[in-house]
Amino acid sequence: MDELKLMVTLWPSFPHFPRFAQDERIWGIRLNSAQIELADLNKEIELIKALPEKIPLFYDVKGWQVRVEHVYENPDYLDLTLNHRISVKTPIPVLFKAGEDGALLERLEENGKRLIFRGGPFLEVRKGESLHIRHPSYVVHGPTFTDFELEKIETAKRGGFKKYFLSYVNNQRYVDEFLELVGQDCEVWLKIESIEGLRYVAREFRKKSNLFLVAACGDMYVEIERPHQIMEAIELIIEKDSEACAGSRMLLSVVDGPVPSLADFLQLAWLYDKGYRNMMLCDEICLKEELLSTAVNIFESFRENYQSRSRISQKQKTTWIKDFLHLH
């Protein structure tokens, strides 16, 4: 496998969905279920059924990932409940917005499902958002899949989904339980987003034809102990699965303008040189048509230039450089 592929995140109800669903430069579309209600999911599936032709669609299941279930109105401090019960030594800092914001968790209530903070973060916290607690005492309790998540999985199954992303994978039991729910023959992309997930990759993961690893850099970059360790994490994943995908935190400079940064191109080149041939843009870029269009154009330019050059001989590269610099 040598062809570089791009995946994006959209929902059929997005105004720009039809445009990108027919774009041959895009390999697949991920549907992020984090903040969607059951009734809305049913509406999206009806829109999918009306599509003129089959498009590779992947439904992202949250499962074990801890997310905000409800935020109480309180002007003095942040007060919320989670989809899973947790335990952790308090007080302790909690990170929001992919590590860009945070607040001090003062105590747990309701058997670890309700979190009371000392004040609150700078930005608004909403239902469905994830959070990060980095401490050895942190434990997530309860069933792997909440009743609400099970309902959404069943709805996706009835809608004909056979391709999935599975968030916060950290052990084989979690993967096996999910396959029991959706079917052993389903294609599942396992999102590695934590230290526990990386340990799973190193110790337990066994490559199968329908299982693929994902270096989900959005959350993983927050969860790892030191930022510079992200390189080792990304290398480990591609070493264990040559078909792995790298996702999020790429081409982010397009948010500020149409000209990509040097870092954007160097990141894509580094991932390509490490062996990644599947890449996925983050939600922030995909939500807006203009940003997504710019990112797809940049990615295609990289693909045409860097991928083609990687296949030619040194003599051909020398000729290419001379042409590029007009040295003839």
Average pLDDT, the chain: 93
Position 35 scores a pLDDT of 87
E-strand spans in 33-76?
57-61, 68-71
pLDDT at 247 over 70: yes
Question: Mind listing the pLDDT tens digit for each residue in 102-127?
Answer: 999 999 999 999 999 999 999 999 99
Question: Mind listing the pLDDT tens digit for each residue in 144-156?
Answer: 999 999 999 999 9
103 contacts 117 by C-beta, under 8 angstroms: yes
240 contacts 204 by C-beta, under 8 angstroms: no
Position 317 scores a pLDDT of 62
Mean pLDDT of the 122-139 span: 93
Residue scoring higher pLDDT (320 or 177): 177
Position 55 scores a pLDDT of 77
Question: Mind listing the pLDDT tens digit for each residue in 266-289?
Answer: 999 999 999 999 999 999 999 999
Can you tell me whether residue 235 is helix, strand or coil?
A: helix
Residue given tokens 């105590």 in the structure block: 107
Query: What distance in Å separates the CA atoms of residue 154 and residue 45, rounded to the nearest whole number?
Result: 12
Confidence of residue 312 (pLDDT cuts 50, 70, 90): low
Query: What distance in Å separates the CA atoms of residue 290 and residue 51, rounded to the nearest whole number?
Result: 23
Mean pLDDT of the 175-199 span: 97
Residue scoring higher pLDDT (328 or 243): 243
Query: What distance in Å separates the CA atoms of residue 215 and residue 203, rounded to the nearest whole number?
Result: 16
DSSP letter, residue 248: S
* Half-sphere exposure of residue 108: CA atoms within 13 angstroms, side-chain side: 17
φ and ψ at residue 323, rounded to 5 degrees: -65, -40
Mean pLDDT of the 173-202 span: 97
Query: What distance in Å separates the CA atoms of residue 119 and residue 59, rounded to the nearest whole number?
Result: 36
Question: Mind listing the pLDDT tens digit for each residue in 13-62?
Answer: 999 999 999 999 999 999 999 889 999 999 999 998 888 776 799 999 99
Other beta carbons within 10 angstroms of residue 282's beta carbon come to 21
Question: Mind listing the pLDDT tens digit for each residue in 205-236?
Answer: 999 999 999 999 999 999 998 999 999 999 99
Task: Give kind and range of the element (H or E) at residue 290.
Answer: helix 289-302
**257 CB burial (10 A radius; 0-12, 13-18, 19+):** exposed
Query: What distance in Å separates the CA atoms of residue 2 and residue 243, rounded to the nearest whole number?
Result: 10
**326 CB burial (10 A radius; 0-12, 13-18, 19+):** exposed
pLDDT at 186 over 70: yes
